Structure 1
Amino acid sequence: MKISIIVASNNKNLELAHQLNKIAIEMGQQTQIIDLIEEDLPLYTPKIQAQSGIPDKVQSLSQTLINTEGMIFVAPEYNGGIPPILTNAIAWLSVSGDDWRRCFNSKPAMIATHSGGGGQYVLLAMRSQLSYIGMNVVGRQIITNYQKSLNLDSAREVISQLVAMKIS
């Protein structure tokens, strides 16, 4: 399965993304990490879109996600919700073509967080938003924090569930 791991933060969430990437590769999956910090997308507003059009890096990211079979989203809890960098990327992707869901619709998704708080709010918000844009989100999720490291067996199981949801 071709899996894109979309990470919406650096530091601990980027470390978690790399751990999940390693596990997925060990399980025989083809992966790539998309670091939204490094993508450095401009802030989406209708005014910026009207003035400048769709940035080339958004078009490139859109094509990458269209060609991926499953996604893992790794994001910290940001004031009880999704980090702005992730919602900004989704906003740009939703206007990058004729079908606003084309990057996401019917694809399996897995969600994960390393959060200084509980992490439940970001996971709930990601599950809701990703489901709304047409993704099939795995029931289990990954939560790590400073007191709770990644459980490798759980990570393998959740990735296995993601792979099993692959659309033929």
Structure 2
Amino acid sequence: MATKILGISGSLRKDSVNSKLIREAARLYGECEFLEADLNIPLYDGDLEDEHGLPDVVETLVSQIADAEAVIISTPEYNGGITGVLKNALDWVSRAKPSPWAGKPVAVMSAAAGRAGGVRAQTMLRTCMTPFSVRIAAAPEVGIASAGSEFDDEGRLVSERYQASVERLMQALKVEITG
């Protein structure tokens, strides 16, 4: 049976390189049932939560995380950190009880226009994931620099070096899944 993997892109852009990267990672993972999360959710507001509970779109995300055997997260780097969109989603999901994250294998990566490929955002993302007690796949960081020119028309990585890095990260994710 195919592994269930949820992809979370920290970008809402239609042609996001981070969305391309999670899709490419799933392809390079191999046989899997891949689903992309929708982070187009309202800003976290404790009053909204108190009055209405978790919004339906957040409940859907919580269920997707819980149902996945592993999660691949890719984030752009905005001003040295993760996007507000991604942080907002993590804040909302943190309100779910029980946590869908506990013990979940997670692969972290980034794609950005800059020459560092968003690795500072990865550091922040790892910090944000710590309270959830996830199992971050240990592999070399995957940070796609000058990302706008690193994908072909089908959304595949053009650089063998980046492709090899993503493959190594997906192998590390497989190890986390199988324990």
TM-score band, normalised by the shorter chain? 0.7 to 0.9
Q: Aligned match of 2:34 in 31, 36, 55?
A: 31
Q: Which deviations, in whole Å up to 9, do the C-alpha atoms of 1:140-160 show, x marking residues without a partner?
A: 231102178452222111101
Structure 1 counterpart of 2:113: 116
One-letter amino acid of the counterpart of residue 132, structure 2 = I
Q: Which deviations, in whole Å up to 9, do the C-alpha atoms of 1:3-22 show, x marking residues without a partner?
A: 11111113221222222222
Q: TM-score, normalised by structure 2?
A: 0.81
Q: Does 1:164 align with 2:169?
A: no
- Secondary structure of the residue aligned to 1:4 is strand
Correspondence list, 1:1-168, <5 A: 1-9=3-11, 10=13, 11-24=16-29, 27-36=30-39, 40-97=40-97, 99=98, 102-117=99-114, 118=116, 119-140=118-139, 141-146=141-146, 149=150, 150=157, 151-166=162-177
One-letter amino acid of the counterpart of residue 106, structure 1 = G
User: Matched residue pairs, number?
Assistant: 160
Q: Percent identity?
A: 24
Q: TM-score, normalised by structure 1?
A: 0.86
One-letter amino acid of the counterpart of residue 4, structure 1 = L
Q: Which deviations, in whole Å up to 9, do the C-alpha atoms of 1:95-152 show, x marking residues without a partner?
A: 122x3xx211111111111112321210101112212311111222311021784522
Q: Structure 1 regions of 5+ residues with no counterpart?
A: none
Alignment partners' CA distance in 2, 1:165 and 1:13: 22
Q: Structure 2 regions of 5+ residues with no counterpart?
A: 151-156
- Secondary structure of the residue aligned to 2:37 is strand
- Secondary structure of the residue aligned to 1:166 is helix
Alignment partners' CA distance in 1, 2:74 and 2:119: 13
Root mean square deviation of aligned Cα? 1.8
Structure 1 segments of 4+ aligned residues over 3 angstroms from their partners: 147-150
- Contact 1:109–1:135, Cα closer than 8 Å, also in 2: yes
Alignment partners' CA distance in 2, 1:84 and 1:56: 20
- Secondary structure of the residue aligned to 2:36 is strand
- Secondary structure of the residue aligned to 2:34 is strand
One-letter amino acid of the counterpart of residue 124, structure 1 = T
Bigger CA drift: 133-142 or 71-80?
Answer: 133-142
Alignment partners' CA distance in 1, 2:45 and 2:77: 23
Shift of 1:167: 5.4
- Secondary structure of the residue aligned to 1:116 is coil
